[in-house]
Amino acid sequence: MNLQATPSPEGQIFGAHLRAMRTARDLTQAQLAELARTNKPFISNLERGLTTPSLGMLLRLAEALECKPSDLIKVFDHGPRVSPRSRKD
């Protein structure tokens, strides 16, 4: 049985933006994980679009990256509309 996660469109967009913000600050995934009080595999999953952050994690990522929380999600202000699927799907 293959339990491999599939990236979501919104996860891929957020993940690419998070990676760009992290690398612009010369941080490794491990360093960002430590600053955001999480672990490296979770940061990796975020950057690959396999998961999306909770509000609490979004706030910790913003603190770790020394930016506003809105800076992390402003990537969704432009470009194609991406709406998460309903949990009922």
Domains of the chain in start order, with CATH, are 9-74 (1.10.260.40)
Strand, helix or coil for residue 22: helix
State yes or no: pLDDT of 85 exceeds 80.
no
For residues 82 and 7, the answer to whether their CB atoms sit within 8 Å is no
Q: Which amino acid is at 50?
A: L
pLDDT reported for residue 55: 97
Query: Using N-to-C axis directions, what is the helix angle for 9-24 and 40-47, rounded to 10°?
Result: 120
Predicted TM-score (pTM) of the model is 0.84
pLDDT band at 5 (very low <50, low <70, confident <90, very high): confident
Residue identified by tokens 């009080």 is 37
